[in-house]
Structure 1
Amino acid sequence: MTLHLIFGPQGAGKSTHAHALAKSLGGLRFSIDEWMYELYGPDLPNPIRLDWIMERVGRVERQIWAIASQAAHNGGVAILDLGFTKVASRDAVRARAEAEGFAVEMHYVTAPHALRRQRVLARNEEKGATFSFEVTPTMFDVMEREFEPATQEEREISRLLESS
């Protein structure tokens, strides 16, 4: 019963890593971007409001947890590609998973800022396997300010994947 928590800034390669991990482990992958786009993409306000988005992210995360937890309790492997932008959210999910008796593996995926921005803009154009919705340069900048890098403790307990 293992939960894999994948976190890092946008464009670092989290979704790519989650796809590969799910394939290699035969796990069930949950991507916040896919869920958010499918459920709320058509309703996205213009201009984008962070409070509107974060309220819906909370709803989606609760539903994903319910399904991932059930899968893990039934012997499956769940891979949570939820972004986990805040240290507090990562700590809370990790604590909840451990309280439910799950083994937790943290995966910190990161890359230099310029490379991540380039990847996001390229993903917008290519619309490949990890594309869920267009991330505008403004959206990138807003979410960039929201991400809290891994703490020293998180770095010590995580698998670190750095691209350059």
Structure 2
Amino acid sequence: MTDAARLVPAPATLHFFCGKAGAGKSTLAAALAKEEGAVLISEDVWLARLFGDQMHTFDDYIRCSRKLKTVVGPLVADLLASGLNVVMDFQANTRAGRAWFLSVCAQAGAAHVLHHVDVPDAVCLQRIARRNAERPEGSHALSEADFHHIMSFFEPPDEAGLALQLHR
């Protein structure tokens, strides 16, 4: 390696996730952040702390999530631009959602990895039942009907140019 190559650091990487409710995105995000020594930002925790008293419906989640992204997006871009890897435990379950993450990467000149957690519905529903009982910070109780409603918006990743890593 030349001296010049050693002086140019590799770009930071933004890790983000798509997958069904209960697929294991948050568990994977926490493990990945620890493994990579990356900054972990959890949408569920931030939403609960900032807007917990305002979130009662799926529409409330959408509204509050949009507000949160106006603050977190520039923060993440700054972290990435400073060379820190970031793991965003936010859902990227739609093309529009993934475009937002890619815009944050472009703003920071950062690399990205989209982690697609693809597990069967039955596994997701078992995990949701366990999460409903354990209620970790930021979690919301979901019924099977809630699961199917939320998943009606899911768009599997198929965009060209995505650095995609599949987890089963």
Residue matched to 2:38: 27
Structure 1 segments, 4+ long, off by >6 Å, are: none
Indicate how the Cα distance of structure 1 residues 76 and 11 shifts in structure 2: closer, same or farther if over 3 A, else same.
same
Which letter does structure 2 place at the counterpart of 1:141? Answer: H
Extract unaligned runs of 5+ from structure 1.
Answer: none
> After the TM superposition, which residues 14-163 of structure 1 pair with which residues of structure 2 at under 5 Å, given as runs?
14-45=25-56, 48=57, 50-128=58-136, 131-137=137-143, 138-151=145-158, 153=160, 157-162=163-168
Extract unaligned runs of 5+ from structure 2.
Answer: 1-11
Structure 1 stretch 119-128 or stretch 27-36: which is displaced more? 119-128
Q: Does 1:12 align with 2:19?
A: no
Distance 1:148 1:94 in 2: 16
Which letter does structure 1 place at the counterpart of 2:20? Answer: P
TM-score by length of 1: 0.84
Indicate how the Cα distance of structure 1 residues 140 and 153 shifts in structure 2: closer, same or farther if over 3 A, else same.
same
Distance 2:100 2:140 in 1: 29
Distance 2:123 2:132 in 1: 14
TM-score by length of 2: 0.83
Same amino acid, percent of matched pairs = 27
Q: For 1:146, what is the secondary structure of its paired residue?
A: coil
Superimposed CA distance per residue, residues 12-43 of structure 1 (whole angstroms, 9 cap, x where no aligned partner): 11111110111011100111111111212222
Which letter does structure 1 place at the counterpart of 2:106? Answer: E
Superimposed CA distance per residue, residues 88-130 of structure 1 (whole angstroms, 9 cap, x where no aligned partner): 22023214413431111121112101110110111111235xx
Superimposed CA distance per residue, residues 56-81 of structure 1 (whole angstroms, 9 cap, x where no aligned partner): 11111222212211111111111111
Question: When the two structures are aligned, how many residues end up with a matched partner?
Answer: 156
- In our comparison, the structure showing a higher alpha carbon Rg is 2
Contact in 1 for aligned 2:16/2:115 (Cα 8 Å):
yes
Distance 2:45 2:53 in 1: 13
